[in-house]
Amino acid sequence: MKNVLCAVAGAAALLISAPSIAQTTLTVATVNNSDMIRMQGLTSEFTAKNPDITVKWVTLEENVLRQRVTTDIATKGGQFDVLTIGTYEVPIWAKKSWLVPLDKLGADYDVGDLLPKIKDAVSVDGKLYAAPFYGESSMVMYRTDLFDKAGLKMPESPTWDFVVDAAKKLTDKAGGVYGICLRGKAGWGENMAFLTAMSNSFGARWFDEKWEPQFNSPEWKKTLTTYVDLMKQAGPPGASSNGFNENLALFSAGKCAMWIDATVAASMVTNPKDSKVADKVGFALAPNTGLGKNANWLWAWSLAIPAGSKKVDAAEKFIAWATSKDYTKLVASKEGWSNVPPGTRTSLYKNPDYLKVAPFAKLTLASIDAADPNKPTVKPVPYVGVQYAAIPEFQGIGTQVGQQFSAALSGSTTVDAALTAAQSVTEREMKRAGYIK
Amino acid sequence: MARMVTTRNKVISTAAAWLVGFLIFFPILWMVLASFKTELEAFAIPPSFLFFHWTTENYVTVQERSDYLHHALNSIIIAGGSTLIAMLIAIPAAWSMAFSPTKRTKDVLLWMLSTKMMPPVGVLVPIYLIYRTFGLLDTRSGLIFILCLGNLPIVIWMLFTYFKEIPKDILEAARMDGATIGRELIYVLTPMAVPGLASTLLLNLILAWNEAFWTLNLSTLEAAPLTVFIASYSSPEGLFWAKLSAASTLAIAPILVLGWFSQRQLVRGLTFGAVK
């Protein structure tokens, strides 16, 4: 009888305890790009292994997300448990103690496998504050058929002189083919990402060691003159309103002989479903001027946990899953190797299956290796970041300077006037922020 | 002869009206067309107007990726709720200011309007902190409250101008005949104010439906209306035009249909006074 009672009590205890496994709901804030959307679709694989965790997604456009997440984290609003942030935010937010250091990602996470430059970009003082989900640099994408026809050969690491020359030769305005397509739309993440990276290769820098703006330097003048002259002679009409998407459309439609932009574009322009020139695209490192720096940037969308989150353990479990080697394998098994998130792990670039379907893999890796966020320029600088300076004021300053440079491209102001205006805007803002007197 | 000129004028003015109408409607038409294209065709240069491969795949993708009905329901509740509350507060306020103005009425009206001159982002952080403290973040009631506050000055101003158009003499005449305040309101004032009330209601509904700043910043999931739904389809890196168009078409469809059905009231209300 006693046994029966025990059994009944045990069964009752089980029944009561079964549904009471604490459910943790994670709210993940993320950007709208194909890799993130894919992860959203694969979340069920994670929740199947972790039945006590539910994952909800808030997908927003990049700039909206940035504003939304910054407001929430600055006010400790606690609306999100996992944030998607870029390499620009990580050092700033980590220093403000807004992020939880990721030190419990698990034994099999293999932090050493992360690409060193990407790992540096999401670490502060040797501690990882965000886990990279996908990484990118920029490189030259060019039309092999047009180069062959003109008798030109693209070197693996071209100089700006070669690029300018080739762009002029390949331009056939009557036939609707332009030598080169570059970003022109104003914005710190639009034309300024490209122009800052380009200026690095010309030996220019945003600030000297004392945070004095450097737009009055001959290096910046050469950068902007080269850019404006090149685009006037060999660029598409209306280039001052072109961003990544516009150039992607132009290149995919066969209107550009060269395009220098994010390495993630490589998989888009070689995809026959979306591109008319899929089988005629070659890749090269972003151009240089022989000073030891190439005109390429470095960016990684990464997952981080806001400080003050009450669900750190579950969030860290999710981040470890989403940025693991196993996740890469999961995507490969479901959607093929060409769809795995690129640019974060060394092992991916040694994987023969991936190398087979990604002709751009070698140059993506070389481009990422060629960018150094801690030493972005030829001359020393007080900031980290290749195509930006990782200070909170940069978004505002970068966009104002970007507007000046976009105006120089459209012809509504001159190169000299744009540089003078950029210098005074930056000086004013840096004084106001207390960097200089 | 005169008759011929009139006919010709009629034809010309009709054609001109249609042309202007078409020009104004064109962006919406273009968006609807783009939503039926493939991503590559949506981006094609030169663009194809009607002769492309029509597809509904964007609507399927949008439906799979996000919960349209959840967002649409939130939009209806938030826009409808904030409009109703705003009207309830605004009608008595405008009524008293129009029919028994005091020395300070003008100042009060101007002061109310002045709150609209401040950029909302200036108070984002204080509002966010208040909402966090009171647990109003990501709630429908929180959004109804802020949209109601934001639109109140416009609603009061619109109603005030409509009420002012109504001649006081008519109300006095009703009083002479022994009408009580209640009867005066229901049988005399309301029938005259209906077009004004209707157009204010509709305009406020449209403003609340389209409001993007507060709805994007104060909601995450549970209370997120259609503005958040659209924002999730925009992207600076990658081709999302066709899907974005499909999402936008779905988002504006309810308010567009409502607008079409009520255009007579809307036009009459907006031109109220001029045609008396």
Per-residue pLDDT band at B156 (split at 50, 70, 90) = very high
Contact indicator for A249, A236 with CB cutoff of 8 Å: no
Are A61 and B44 in contact (CB < 8 Å)? no
pLDDT of amino acid B5: 66
pLDDT of A366 strictly over 80? yes
Which tens digit of pLDDT belongs to each residue from A74-129? 898 899 999 999 999 999 999 999 999 998 888 889 999 999 999 999 999 999 99
pLDDT of amino acid A346: 94
- Amino acid of residue A361: A
Task: Give the mean pLDDT of chain A.
Answer: 91
Task: Give the mean pLDDT of chain B.
Answer: 87
Asked if A238 has any chain B CB less than 8 Å from its own CB, the reply is: no
Domain-located, residue A394? yes
Are A245 and B237 in contact (CB < 8 Å)? yes
Which tens digit of pLDDT belongs to each residue from B105-150? 999 999 998 988 889 999 999 999 999 999 999 999 999 999 999 9
Interface test with A, best of B123, B235, B240 (most A CBs within 10 A): B235
Are B216 and A60 in contact (CB < 8 Å)? yes
With CA atoms as reference, the chain B residue closest to A276 would be B40
Residues A68 and A164 in one domain: no
Per-residue pLDDT band at A295 (split at 50, 70, 90) = very high
Tell me the CATH number of domain B66-232, given options 1.10.3720.10, 2.30.42.10, 1.50.10.10, 3.20.20.370: 1.10.3720.10
**Tally of structural domains, chain A:** 2
pLDDT of amino acid A15: 46
Residues A119 and A152 in one domain: no
Residues A291 and A330 in one domain: no
User: What's the rounded Cα separation, in Å, for the pair A132 and A319?
Assistant: 9
User: What's the rounded Cα separation, in Å, for the pair A424 and A436?
Assistant: 13
Mean pLDDT of all residues in A297-307: 94
Mean pLDDT of all residues in A243-270: 91
Mean pLDDT of all residues in A197-212: 95
Domain-located, residue A402? yes
pLDDT of amino acid A17: 46
Which tens digit of pLDDT belongs to each residue from B207-238? 999 999 999 999 998 999 999 999 888 877 66
Which tens digit of pLDDT belongs to each residue from A57-81? 999 888 889 889 999 998 988 999 9
Interface test with A, best of B40, B235, B237, B240 (most A CBs within 10 A): B237
Are B236 and A60 in contact (CB < 8 Å)? no
pLDDT of amino acid B194: 84
Contact indicator for B196, B158 with CB cutoff of 8 Å: yes
Residues A50 and A156 in one domain: no
ipTM, two decimals: 0.80
Per-residue pLDDT band at B271 (split at 50, 70, 90) = low
For residue A167, the surrounding DSSP H or E stretch is helix A160-170
SS3 A139: strand
Interface test with A, best of B132, B232, B240, B248 (most A CBs within 10 A): B232
- Amino acid of residue A88: Y
Asked if A271 has any chain B CB less than 8 Å from its own CB, the reply is: no
Are A61 and B216 in contact (CB < 8 Å)? no
Chain B contacts in chain A segment 357-386 (CB below 8 A): none
pLDDT of amino acid A232: 95
More confident: A437 or B266? A437
SS3 B121: helix
User: What's the rounded Cα separation, in Å, for the pair A300 and A341?
Assistant: 11
Asked if A261 has any chain B CB less than 8 Å from its own CB, the reply is: no
Q: How many angstroms away from the CA of B26 is the closest CA of chain A?
A: 22
Phi, psi at residue A131, to the nearest 5°?
-105, 125
Rounded to 5°, angle at Cα A408 from A406 and A414: 160
pLDDT of amino acid B27: 93
User: What's the rounded Cα separation, in Å, for the pair A294 and A135?
Assistant: 18
User: What's the rounded Cα separation, in Å, for the pair A43 and B217?
Assistant: 25
With CA atoms as reference, the chain B residue closest to A250 would be B45
Mean pLDDT of all residues in A192-201: 96
Which tens digit of pLDDT belongs to each residue from B13-58? 999 999 999 999 999 999 999 999 887 788 776 777 778 888 898 9
User: What's the rounded Cα separation, in Å, for the pair A153 and A165?
Assistant: 12
pLDDT of amino acid B260: 83
pLDDT of amino acid A165: 95
Interface test with B, best of A28, A31, A32 (most B CBs within 10 A): A32
Domain range holding A230?
137-297+375-432
Which residues on chain A are in Cβ contact (under 8 Å) with B216? 60, 64, 68
Give the closest residue to A164 by CA, choosing from A217, A117, A201: A201
Q: Which of B40, B124, B233 sits opposite A274 (nearest CB)?
A: B40
- Amino acid of residue A413: T
Helix A191-201 and helix A218-234, axial crossing angle in degrees, nearest 10: 120
Are B43 and A68 in contact (CB < 8 Å)? no
Mean pLDDT of all residues in B270-276: 52
What six digits make up the tokens of B33?
């067309």
Are A76 and B44 in contact (CB < 8 Å)? no
Give the closest residue to A137 by CA, choosing from A283, A243, A325: A283
Per-residue pLDDT band at B3 (split at 50, 70, 90) = low
Q: What is the dihedral of CA A71, A72, A76, A81, to 10 degrees?
A: -150
Domain-located, residue A196? yes
Domain-located, residue A238? yes
Q: Which of B132, B228, B233 sits opposite A75 (nearest CB)?
A: B132
Residues A124 and A145 in one domain: no
Residues whose CB is less than 8 angstroms from the CB of residue B101 and which lie 6 or more positions away in sequence, other chains included: none
User: By percentage, how much of chain B surpasses pLDDT 90?
Assistant: 48
pLDDT of A236 strictly over 90? yes
Give the closest residue to A295 by CA, choosing from A216, A230, A213, A211: A230
What's the CATH code of the domain at A100?
3.40.190.10
Which tens digit of pLDDT belongs to each residue from B47-104? 777 788 888 989 998 888 888 999 999 999 999 999 999 999 998 899 889 888 899 9
pLDDT of B174 strictly over 90? no
Residues A98 and A198 in one domain: no
Q: How many angstroms away from the CA of A5 is the closest CA of chain B?
A: 46
pLDDT of amino acid A418: 97
Contact indicator for B52, B37 with CB cutoff of 8 Å: yes
Give the closest residue to B160 by CA, choosing from B205, B93, B100, B86: B93
Are A61 and B221 in contact (CB < 8 Å)? no
Per-residue pLDDT band at A9 (split at 50, 70, 90) = low
Mean pLDDT of all residues in A133-160: 95
pLDDT of amino acid A2: 54
User: What's the rounded Cα separation, in Å, for the pair B105 and B93?
Assistant: 10
pLDDT of amino acid A16: 47
Asked if A399 has any chain B CB less than 8 Å from its own CB, the reply is: no
pLDDT of amino acid B270: 66
pLDDT of A325 strictly over 70? yes
Domain range annotation of chain B? 66-232
Q: Which of B66, B138, B240 sits opposite A79 (nearest CB)?
A: B138
Domain-located, residue A7? no
Residues whose CB is less than 8 angstroms from the CB of residue A250 and which lie 6 or more positions away in sequence, other chains included: A178, A181, A236, A242, A256, A259, B45
Contact indicator for A118, A137 with CB cutoff of 8 Å: no
Domain-located, residue A15? no
Domain-located, residue A16? no
Domain-located, residue A96? yes
Which tens digit of pLDDT belongs to each residue from A331-348? 999 988 988 999 999 999
Contact indicator for A15, A45 with CB cutoff of 8 Å: no
Phi, psi at residue A396, to the nearest 5°?
-70, -50
Residues A106 and A184 in one domain: no
Q: Which of B39, B232, B239 sits opposite A59 (nearest CB)?
A: B232
